[in-house]
């Protein structure tokens, strides 16, 4: 099936989007994997788009309860592709029961796809689909979201690898996580 393209789009250009996805904290590991993989598949296979960035913010407190949940698992995506890609993703997410919220935003029109190299490794995608890793990225209270500097994003991506290993050992990290669950 050919990809739908808006008449506004110039030939060979794509659109850049960012998306925030919030899942329920009680999503089973298998379903989490399914959801993440399905999104990636929709982007890459069905719509020939690309994931530019995928940040796993992990468990965070919601500012207000959604579907009686006080916490959510946050993801931040940055993707490039055509308009139909986003509606495809949204169509899927809308039907998905473990999705609390999704919010996609167009950042730029008519982007040259070649000018946006993707630094997403298969590793990052795999981690995002791994429940154990996701929950280990528990929230640090009111941590400022990576937005100002590239360096911080890089640091945040490198840090989890070490944090993941130490999370099980250090009581500090685990107690922080269990506090939230008890509430």
Q: Which residues bind another protein (CB under 8 A)?
A: 20, 22, 62-64, 66, 72, 76, 100-101, 103, 105, 142, 144-145, 147-148
DSSP labels, 61-122: EEEEEETTEEEEEEEEEEEEE-HHHHHHHHHHHHH-TTEEEEEEEEEEEEE-GGGS-----H
Q: Which is nearer to another protein, 61 or 165 (CB)?
A: 61
Q: Which is nearer to another protein, 18 or 119 (CB)?
A: 18
User: Is beta strand 14-23 parallel, antiparallel or unpaired with respect to 69-81?
Assistant: antiparallel
We find the least distance from the C-beta atom of residue 11 to another protein, in angstroms, to be: 31
Q: Are 23 and 109 in contact (CB under 8 A)?
A: no
We find the least distance from the C-beta atom of residue 119 to another protein, in angstroms, to be: 19
H/E stretch holding 15 reads: strand 14-23
Instruction: Return the closest-CA partner of residue 81 out of 40, 122, 120, 37.
Output: 40
We find the least distance from the C-beta atom of residue 98 to another protein, in angstroms, to be: 15
We find the least distance from the C-beta atom of residue 62 to another protein, in angstroms, to be: 4
Q: Are 107 and 80 in contact (CB under 8 A)?
A: no
Q: Are 126 and 133 in contact (CB under 8 A)?
A: no
Q: Which is nearer to another protein, 104 or 131 (CB)?
A: 104
Q: Which is nearer to another protein, 72 or 160 (CB)?
A: 72
We find the least distance from the C-beta atom of residue 18 to another protein, in angstroms, to be: 9
Q: Which is nearer to another protein, 28 or 65 (CB)?
A: 65
């Amino acid at each position: 099936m050919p990809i739908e393209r808006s008449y506004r789009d110039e030939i060979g250009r794509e659109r850049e989007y960012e998306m925030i996805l919030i899942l329920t904290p009680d999503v089973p590991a298998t379903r989490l994997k399914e959801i993440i993989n399905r999104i990636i598949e929709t982007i890459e296979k069905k719509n020939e788009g690309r994931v530019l960035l995928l940040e796993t913010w992990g468990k965070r407190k919601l500012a207000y309860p959604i579907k009686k949940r006080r916490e959510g698992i946050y993801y931040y995506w940055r993707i490039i592709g055509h308009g139909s890609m986003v509606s495809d993703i949204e169509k899927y997410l809308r039907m998905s029961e473990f999705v609390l919220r999704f919010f996609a935003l167009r950042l730029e029109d008519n982007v040259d796809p070649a000018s946006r190299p993707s630094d997403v490794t298969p590793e990052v995608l795999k981690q995002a689909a791994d429940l154990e890793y996701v929950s280990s990225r528990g929230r640090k209270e009111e941590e400022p979201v990576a937005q100002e500097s590239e360096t911080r994003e890089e640091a945040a991506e490198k840090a989890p690898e070490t944090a993941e290993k130490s999370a099980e050992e250090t009581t500090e990290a685990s107690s922080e996580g269990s506090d939230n669950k008890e509430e």
